[in-house]
Amino acid sequence: MSVFAVVRLSVLDLALAGSLVVALAIATSVWKLGVAQTMLVAASRLVVQLLLVGLILKWVFDRADLVWVILIALLMLTVAGREVWVRPKRRLRGWWGFGIGTGAMFVSSFAVSVFGLAALVQADPWWSPQYAIPILGMLLGNTMTGVALSVDRLTAAAWDKREVIEARLMLGESGVTAIGDMGRDALRAGLMPVINSMAVAGVVSLPGMMTGQILAGNDPSDAVRYQILIWFLIAAGCGFGMLIAIRLTSKRLFDERDRLRLDRLRAG
Amino acid sequence: MPGCLQIDGLRFLDWEPISLEVSASEIVGITGDSGSGKSLLLRAVADLDEHAGEITLDGQACASIPAPQWRRKVAMLPAESRWWSETVGEHFVSKDSSLVEALGFGIDVFGWEVSRLSVGERQRLALARLLDRGPEFLLLDEPTANLDAGATQRVESVILASELPALWVSHDGAQLARVASRQFRMGARRLEEVVA
């Protein structure tokens, strides 16, 4: 239920906000930071991408067709999978690298989204694009960051501490055991941001989705409930996604004779 | 009786095939310039690198058992030891005190912090850590490289007292003459027996 009418933003409002970014770009070029151009390109991309997404979403919402929801979901997954694959400094070569990240996100984010939509939100129909696409997007976005961070940690540690891993192999440990400590460190590093965000939500930061709902005129207590649900889904999607990705990456770093195979990694 | 190691047509990189037999409780010395591939030979025997050819221990082929099990039997001591836990004791399985005592340490060594060990202490303790796991064959890569004369003698006598067969890589010809019954020399991509 709307408490008040939404104040619509005019093009002039957006242009004025944009002028702040232009001012920042000028300031950085005076300081010779060399990021002005990148920043302006990024800001322009933001405008174009979001306008396009707005159009696409409106089109999909009007049709409310399951096929379109699935197509968009798969497109989001593919883009997120590519991001996870290319972001780590040292990444697995070939289809394995892409497949592990994408597979981990597919299993975790998709499963958790379907659970959240079908069992908890229960819109009619449960896959309504108004609910399905934003929820999956938030899950994928957070899982992507977490998986990329933890895989980066793991491959960097394997590269830097190859002698430790091989020393343990020489003592008769299996590959999974020899790299186990590094896998645990990587998972801890990936989970920390999720845990921290939950701990300070509402106190230090007002979560973006909640802010958006409140600005859009929704009752804050409804917005809060959705935010709590979303955070639980994010934590689960992120955590299980990382567990799968770290487990598979650890395995892939060794061959069937438990030899450390750093030749399967390549620099970013 | 542990260990008759048979290497048959072992190939790695672009080396000529290597065949070698080490009988029970025999130590075979391997010399060669640095970079001649001595460590690569040991790594291949430990199945840490890809290789062709067959290696058997007491008739059991390397490829017929899981690699970790093979490496527990055919154990390699690398030239530089690496440690991963905080204390020395965490790296040991049985914590048999007679082993560390023979190498010149007290029983309190298991509580020591790894980060405070000297290079030589690490090297001696790495040998203790390896023998502690009960291997049947040793692959030793410069086991006394960073040690003074006294410590070198201790390490040699501990290895000899174990009565385990070994491939022993060393720069020190005099040392190999003391401990090994036969010597081979690596160079020009092949292994040749040194005739005394």
Query: Mean pLDDT in each 10-residue stretch from start to end of chain A (268 residues)?
Result: 66 94 95 90 93 91 90 92 88 91 92 93 91 92 92 96 97 96 96 91 79 86 89 94 96 96 88
Instruction: State the smallest CA–CA distance between residue B176 and chain A in angstroms.
Output: 23
Confidence band for B3, pLDDT divided at 50, 70 and 90: low
Q: What is the DSSP string of A86-112?
A: HSSSEEE-HHHHHHHHHHHHIIIIIHH
A164 contact residues in B (CB cutoff 8 A): 82-84
Q: Indicate the pTM of the whole model.
A: 0.87
Whether residue B50 and residue A169 make contact (CB cut-off 8 A), yes or no, is no
- Tens-digit pLDDT profile for residues B79-89: 999 999 999 99
Q: Could you give the angle at the alpha carbon of B24 between the alpha carbons of B21 and B29, nearest 5°?
A: 55
* Closest among A90, A101, A52, A89 to A72, alpha carbons compared: A52
Token pair of B118, please? 């000297």
Instruction: Say yes or no for a CB contact (<8 Å) between B78 and A172.
Output: no
The three-state secondary structure class of A160 is: helix
CB atoms inside a 10 Å sphere around CB A26: 11
DSSP assignments along B58-78, one per residue: TTEEGGGS-HHHHHHHEEEE-
Q: Is the pLDDT of residue B178 over 70?
A: yes
Q: Give the three-class secondary structure for B184.
A: strand
Between A and B, how many residue pairs show a Cβ–Cβ distance under 8 A?
Answer: 54
Confidence class for position B95, pLDDT limits 50, 70, 90? confident
A184 touches chain B (CB under 8 A): no
Among the partner residues A170, A181, A258, nearest to B84 by beta-carbon distance: A181
Other Cβ atoms closer than 10 A to B90? 11
CA distance A258 to A178: 10
> For an interface test with B, which of A161, A164, A171, A262 has the most B Cβ atoms less than 10 Å from its Cβ?
A171
| Residue with the two structure tokens 């491939």 | B167
The answer to whether A137 and A72 have CB atoms below 8 angstroms apart is no
- Among B82, B94, B129, B133, most A C-beta atoms within 10 A, so best to mutate, is B82
Q: What is the pLDDT of residues B43-68, one digit of tens each?
A: 999 999 999 999 999 999 999 999 99
Report the distance separating Cα A61 and Cα A57, nearest Å: 6
